[in-house]
Amino acid sequence: MAYLLKNRKEREEASLERMIRLYCKAKHNPETFLCKECSELLVYAKSKSDDCPFEENKPACSICRVHCYQKRERDKIKQVMRYAGPRMIYVNPLMAIDHLISKKKPADISLLRKK
């Protein structure tokens, strides 16, 4: 239930971390929390989330019109999402449903944070 109490950004980061963990466990069989490659991807993704110009109005990255990720990292996260996305409904249904709902909300450019 604590998942519902988090704000949009925190929920997205929690979902992202869970998906990367699921992917890493299946594909890389790490002995620790995450392999080096997946750990670096998670740090990168969280840094991009922190810098998101939409702040709390942030849409799902897959439907955002502002692409923050470099091509290499975007390709990696797509692999993670393709693998972990369909499995999330079994692993954490609440996160999966929340993510599906967020994919229906496009980014409103008028809400861009002024830097």
Residue 115, pLDDT score: 46
Q: Are the beta carbons of 91 and 11 closer than 8 angstroms?
A: no
Q: Which residues contact 33 (CB under 8 A, 6 or more apart)?
A: 21, 39
- The percentage of the chain sitting over the pLDDT mark of 70, rounded to a whole number, equals 84
DSSP structure string for 39-108: HHHHHHHHHHHHT-TTGGG---GGG-SS--S-HHHHHHHHHHHHHHHHHHHHH-HHHHHHHHHHTTS---
Average pLDDT of the chain to the nearest whole number: 82
Q: Is the pLDDT of residue 20 over 60?
A: yes
Higher pLDDT, 10 or 26: 26
Q: Is the pLDDT of residue 96 over 90?
A: no
- pLDDT tens-digit readout, 55-92: 777 777 777 777 788 999 999 999 999 999 999 999 99
